[in-house]
């Protein structure tokens, strides 16, 4: 799943984020889910979770459920447009909000609030996400992102000293309309190297997006397939997914890189792409420890333990998401009537114990939310809306959403057995994972 956003330039300016006197930086732990950075942020006294999105201008709040309660100040109505096939959506503009990230605080943060309940990333990510935040943090701090250890450091710029570490490279960072771009090279068929200018977009869980440009040599490789690429503010984004020989950033080179060519009709909200050739997303960025320095207009990279990990392709063709909750009953006794020690912690947080040694638990329901035509899962008979109960004999309620997705797509040639429920009937469906480009 990819989340994408672009909105109109903002003419209002909020106050800056500040650190307590004497503090050089703030260190904040984050959750890395589907290549996206999820950070805890307090908004007007309410604890929320935001995606750190270097491609977004001002914070956007969405996915407020009935149980969420948050005060927002100085409200006016606006319309905003993001990537996707839909029209501009109604939203609220709110100023004078207090944002706290660790001890970093902004007492006058401009905020957009989208009231459309259809815009909800939580089911696809498997945990609550309430909004996205980007430029204001990168503007006010030197932002260090450590993907392998899952923390960010917000450095006070005047006190920041660039560490002299071996194997670190510093590249020029181009800031245009509050967005950061970096130069790189993509290696196309026949080892043809092409210079590209890419938006640095930590709010995209994908690897690389390229805009098709035959004249520049950026043609779509023959081996490709149509795919859902991500969810923007204004709807879904589709395009062609494929892979190229590689991509290089400075002297760092990644081989067999995953690339998508989005249909450009979804970029109608952007009046001009200028000399931009695409985007650099989380599946590439997570392979580095990064330092964004907007004031000096530099991006420092040092590869981490994830650098040589193969790119993830959806071999099964199946997308999954949460779909509310369901009840399951489990016996706590073996066939002899002896109570089995519960060695694992249930994902659900509601459990009822009965005298006959049966436990009734409330667990998330996982469904097939989409399936690619011609994929192994599709050819085996899986359908959108199927409820997944187990994968290869493992009851999936004991696993997180991203772990389940890995079980469905583990490696080429693996036979996968999926137990599903369809129309209140259990079915076992089997498929073999195949390389989509062979």
pLDDT per residue as tens digits for the range 125-160: 888 899 999 999 999 999 999 999 999 999 999 999
281 and 257 Cβ atoms separated by less than 8 Å: no
Q: Which CATH number fits domain 318-432: 3.10.20.600, 2.30.42.10, 2.40.10.120, 2.30.110.10?
A: 2.30.42.10
> Which ranges in the chain are annotated with CATH 2.30.42.10?
318-432
DSSP state of 347: S
Q: What is the pLDDT of residue 9?
A: 40
Give alpha helix (H) positions in 160-281.
none
Q: What is the pLDDT of residue 140?
A: 96
> Which ranges in the chain are annotated with CATH 2.40.70.10?
3-159, 168-287+297-303
**Region 232-260: what's the mean pLDDT?**
90
186 and 208 Cβ atoms separated by less than 8 Å: yes
- Measured between alpha carbons, how far is 130 from 225 in angstroms, rounded to an integer? 32
Nearest one of 107, 105, 43 to 72, comparing CA atoms: 43
CATH of domain 168-287+297-303: 2.40.70.10
Residues in Cβ contact with 434 at an 8 Å cutoff, skipping those fewer than 6 apart: 315, 376, 412, 413
When mean pLDDT is compared over 1-5, 19-23, 85-89, the highest value belongs to: 19-23
- Measured between alpha carbons, how far is 124 from 341 in angstroms, rounded to an integer? 33
35 and 2 Cβ atoms separated by less than 8 Å: no
- Tell me: the pLDDT tens digits for 11-30? 444 479 999 998 999 999 99
CATH of domain 3-159: 2.40.70.10
Q: What is the pLDDT of residue 194?
A: 94
Beta bridge partners of 173: none
Name the more confident of 94 and 236: 94
How many helices (H) and strands (E) are present in the chain, helices listed first? 5, 30
Nearest one of 36, 178, 41, 194 to 121, comparing CA atoms: 36
**Which residue is associated with the tokens 């696993």?**
399
Residues in Cβ contact with 300 at an 8 Å cutoff, skipping those fewer than 6 apart: 162, 168, 169, 170, 171, 290, 291, 293
Name the more confident of 409 and 349: 409
Residues in Cβ contact with 325 at an 8 Å cutoff, skipping those fewer than 6 apart: 348, 362, 363, 364, 365
Would you mind telling me the total number of residues written for the chain in this entry? 438
Beta bridge partners of 241: 225, 260
Question: Can you say whether residue 205 is alpha, beta or left, with left for phi > 0 and alpha for psi between -120 and 50 degrees?
Answer: alpha
Q: How confident is the model at residue 189 (pLDDT cuts 50, 70, 90)?
A: confident
Nearest one of 62, 65, 69 to 91, comparing CA atoms: 62
């Amino acid at each position: 799943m990819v989340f994408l956003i672009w909105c109109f330039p903002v003419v209002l300016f909020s106050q800056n984020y500040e650190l307590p006197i004497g503090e050089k930086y703030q260190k904040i732990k984050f959750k890395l889910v589907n290549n996206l950075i999820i950070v805890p942020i307090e908004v007007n006294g309410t604890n929320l979770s935001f995606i750190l999105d270097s491609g977004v201008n001002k914070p956007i709040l969405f996915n407020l459920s009935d149980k969420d309660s948050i005060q927002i100040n100085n409200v006016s109505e606006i319309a905003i447009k993001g990537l996707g096939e839909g029209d501009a959506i109604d939203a609220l503009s709110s100023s004078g909000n207090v944002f706290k990230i660790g001890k970093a605080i902004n007492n006058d943060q401009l905020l957009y609030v989208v009231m459309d309940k259809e815009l909800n990333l939580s089911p696809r990510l498997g945990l609550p996400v309430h909004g996205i935040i980007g430029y204001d943090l990168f503007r006010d701090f030197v932002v260090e992102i450590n993907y392998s250890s899952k923390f960010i450091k917000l450095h006070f710029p005047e006190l920041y000293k660039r560490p002299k570490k071996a194997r670190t490279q510093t590249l020029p960072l181009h800031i245009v309309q509050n967005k950061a771009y970096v130069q790189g090279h993509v290696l196309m068929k026949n080892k043809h190297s092409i210079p590209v200018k890419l938006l640095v977009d930590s709010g995209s869980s994908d690897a690389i997006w390229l805009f098709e440009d035959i004249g520049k040599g950026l043609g779509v490789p023959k081996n490709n397939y149509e795919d859902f690429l991500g969810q923007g503010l204004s709807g879904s984004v589709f395009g062609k997914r494929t892979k190229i020989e590689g991509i290089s950033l400075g002297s760092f080179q990644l081989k067999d890189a995953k690339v998508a060519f989005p249909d450009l009709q979804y970029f109608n909200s952007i009046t001009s792409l200028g000399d931009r050739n695409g985007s650099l997303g989380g599946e590439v960025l997570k392979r580095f420890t990064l330092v964004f320095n907007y004031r000096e207009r530099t991006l420092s990279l040092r590869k981490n333990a994830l650098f040589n990990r193969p790119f993830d392709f959806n071999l099964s063709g199946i997308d999954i998401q949460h779909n509310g909750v369901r009840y399951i009953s489990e016996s706590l006794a073996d066939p002899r009537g002896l109570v089995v020690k519960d060695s694992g912690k249930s994902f659900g947080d509601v459990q009822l114990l009965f005298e006959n040694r049966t436990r009734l638990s409330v667990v998330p329901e996982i469904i097939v939310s989409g399936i690619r035509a011609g994929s192994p899962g599709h050819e085996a008979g899986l359908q959108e809306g199927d409820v997944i109960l187990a994968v290869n004999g493992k009851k999936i309620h004991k696993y997180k959403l991203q772990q389940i997705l890995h079980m469905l797509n583990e490696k080429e040639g693996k036979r996968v057995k999926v137990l599903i429920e369809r129309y209140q009937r259990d079915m076992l469906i089997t498929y073999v994972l195949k390389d989509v480009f062979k």
